[in-house]
Amino acid sequence: MNASRTPSEARPPRMEALARLPVFYTLEGKRTIVAGGSAAAAWKAELLSAAGAIVDVLCETPGEEMLALSQEAPRGAVYVHTRRWCPADIEACALAIGAFDTDEEAAAFASAARAVGVPVNVVDKPAHCDFSFGSIVNRSPMVIGISTDGAAPVFAQAIRAKLEAFLPRGFSLWTQAAQRWRRALKATDLPFEGRRRFWQHFTARALMHPDHEPQLEDYTALLDRTRDEGAAVSAGSVTLVGAGPGDPELLTLRAVRALQSADIILIDDLVSSEVLDFARREARKMLVGKTGYGPSCKQEEINMLMVGLAKSGKRVVRLKGGDPGIFGRAGEEVAACRAAKIPVEVVPGITAAQAAASRLSISLSHREHARRIQYITGHSKKGQLPSDLDWHSLADPHVTTAIYMPVRTLAEFVARATEAGLDPKTPAAVVVNATRANEQVVIETIATLPEAIARLDINGPAIVLVGHALAEGDVVAANGWSHPRHGTHD
């Protein structure tokens, strides 16, 4: 009998160390100074002006770029003073920027700024900087800053170029519309849940029509759509989300959207922590783990918790490893929601068999070796090998079989399957923690695989694949193993 456990609050992992704290200064109408007249100083002055700052430039011989900038500043005024800076200039500034040839002058400028509590940046002299300028993607009021802490500026610029190509310029128009509409939306009679639903519709339309310039009729249409949903907006719901095998890059876009709109996330033990990085930070996270042969929350308790939270108006995401519909008890949880008249949706995920096949660089199907694929469980409700498996089907040489939860019962499975006619030399593999950093792979024959698995220290989900399709595609060369049917890859 499995020991029971109760649902518990999941404490999110602490933020990993940051080389720099990304912040966005409000500089509208605030005074800043730039000491220096070089092209580098002019670029910093232009950034400050674009952010709405009033910029006093202090240099004895301003360059052409700085003089041109003062004549056509992008936003805040730029005033050029043809003299050297002095400590009094820095007082009451929001920011102080310097561009100097010598370390001595840079140190003096930084010291003067720090003495009066003004954040300082000295171009290309990180030792004298309280903050840095990253590469910028400008879709204002949406602004993205990229920093490598000075380690690889060219790399940051390459990332910026990727984002520039990826993000439509029309996003600027949509974020401007959001600024205009936010106050009007707050003045409506929509409850909090309704306003959030409005912004979800807004986001979906912006992503679908990024180059459309939003007009008042767009606001009206989005508001009407939200109102038409009526009570459903404030009612709770349940979404069963497949978290995939572990690599967060294998999440579907729909899964990410569900995670980012959730109020509460009920999490299985098999879900990798990296997947939760995509969840809404404000969402409450609860562990409702079910682990084979270990302490598990009872399914009835999970169903009651899920339904109860949804009835209280919460948007519940039930986050499951792999795909909810493949040995994930999705049927029982969907039935519980329907019985309680709770709206329920299922978001599929990449199941373990697909993930394992991808790591082996094989196809589960093959025109010559596998005309059929079958998924079975090696773990019944009582924790034993299921008694009602179709052994004739499992012995078929033209099928690929994926065995879920196989570790404890694989030896018995092999004995029963070979007795039913399965060739003991049939290629087989176990993949543990597929797609994760601690992935383990062992390739054997089905007869020798149980002994090989017994030698592994398994800590995570495992799946066994059986079939002649595993011998195709030169698995050895692709993965560095020494024999097509024997070896280990960690």
> Which parts of 116-209 fold into alpha helices (H)?
153-166, 171-186, 192-208
Q: Both ends of the chain: CA-CA distance in Å?
A: 33
Length of the chain: 490
Give the C-alpha separation, 5 to 14, whole Å: 25
Active site residue 381: no
Active site residue 290: yes
Beta-bridged to residue 98, according to DSSP, are 35, 122
CB atoms inside a 10 Å sphere around CB 159? 17
Of 148, 152, 201, which is closest to residue 177 (Cα–Cα)? Answer: 201
* Annotated catalytic residue, options 247, 268, 269, 323: 268
Give the C-alpha separation, 247 to 249, whole Å: 5
> Which parts of 298-437 fold into alpha helices (H)?
299-311, 330-339, 352-360, 391-394, 410-419
Q: Residue 405 in contact with residue 378, Cβ under 8 Å?
A: yes
Give the C-alpha separation, 258 to 236, whole Å: 13
Give the C-alpha separation, 90 to 313, whole Å: 53
* Annotated catalytic residue, options 30, 125, 285, 290: 290
For residue 73, report the phi and psi dihedrals to the nearest 5 degrees.
-65, 140
Positions marked catalytic? 268, 290
